[in-house]
Amino acid sequence: MTTSMTDHYLENNKRYADGEAIHTSAHPGKQAIQPARRVAVVACMDARLDVEDLLGLQTGDAHIIRNAGGVVSEDAIRSLIISHHLLNTNEIMLIHHTRCGMLAFTDDLLKAGLEGDPAAEKLLAQATGRAFTSCQTSAASPSAFHAFRGPIEPLDAPRDAKNMERLTWDVRRGMSAILNHPWIPTSGTDAVTVRGFVYDVDTGKLEEVNYPGPMGSIG
């Protein structure tokens, strides 16, 4: 069985977690526009994730798409479609992580706080450990903040079974959004593969999320 590039980068991650530096930061010179390893990564914007380092990516290897939470949003889908159909990527890695800020609020809570609800402001301040300053206005955009499902917890809470479950729920939701999009093929000669992971910010290790599986409850 042929080893995928995703498997190769998982091996790199083991070396990274053991303290080995694999990514080379030196400018490599002229390169093709297509990612050399045909990989696209969707990851959180968290400052503790250096995607090139934790995967051992070299400049030119992969597309890296980042946003708050590593959410498979409309814009992430847009980027993945372009990445695959125009720039020839065929493996997608989705990376969430422990201690994520997306666990510390709900969409309704954040919107209420921004609009000036004192109770929401107080809860957000307690969750984040900083003063929350309302904008005292309502806005139509963004239409969603994509907070992760489940009961909120303090910002940067240590890993436990409950928040790991919430993280895996959202990874699976992201994988499902990609795998079921009509413009991202998953069969035939032009098929892409999609695999999801949770990165432990304390250990540096990636853990794969099985799919399909539970994707969350509002209870």
Q: Write the pLDDT tens digit of every residue in 70-118.
A: 999 999 999 999 999 999 999 999 999 999 999 999 999 999 999 999 9
Backbone angles phi, psi at 124, to 5 degrees: -70, -35
What the chain holds in terms of domains, given with CATH numbers, is 34-102+154-209 (3.40.1050.10), 106-144 (no CATH)
pLDDT tens, 24-79?
Answer: 999 999 999 999 999 999 999 999 999 999 999 999 999 999 999 999 999 999 99
| Interatomic CA distance for residues 105 and 69, integer angstroms | 12
CA torsion, points 83, 88, 90, 92, in degrees to nearest 10? -20
Arithmetic mean of pLDDT, 126-133: 92
State whether the Cα torsion 126-130-135-140 is positive or negative.
negative
Average pLDDT value for residue range 11-33: 95
Q: In this structure, what is the dihedral angle of CA atoms 191, 193, 194, 199, given to the nearest 10 degrees?
A: -150
For 200, phi then psi, to 5°, come to: -90, 110
d(CA 92, CA 5): 10
Calculate the average pLDDT of the chain.
96
Residue range 155-177: average pLDDT? 97
Mean pLDDT of 188-202: 97
Q: Rounded CA gap, 88 and 192, in Å?
A: 10
pLDDT at 2 over 70: no
Both tokens of 90, joined, read 């065929």
Q: What is the model's pLDDT at position 3?
A: 76
DSSP state of 48: T
Residue 219 has pLDDT above 80, yes or no: no
**Predicted confidence band at 184 (pLDDT cuts at 50, 70, 90)?**
very high
Check whether 136 has a pLDDT greater than 60: yes
Residues 120-125, mean pLDDT to the nearest whole number: 95
CA–CA separation, 68 and 80 (whole Å)? 17
Whether the per-residue pLDDT at 191 is higher than 90: the answer is yes
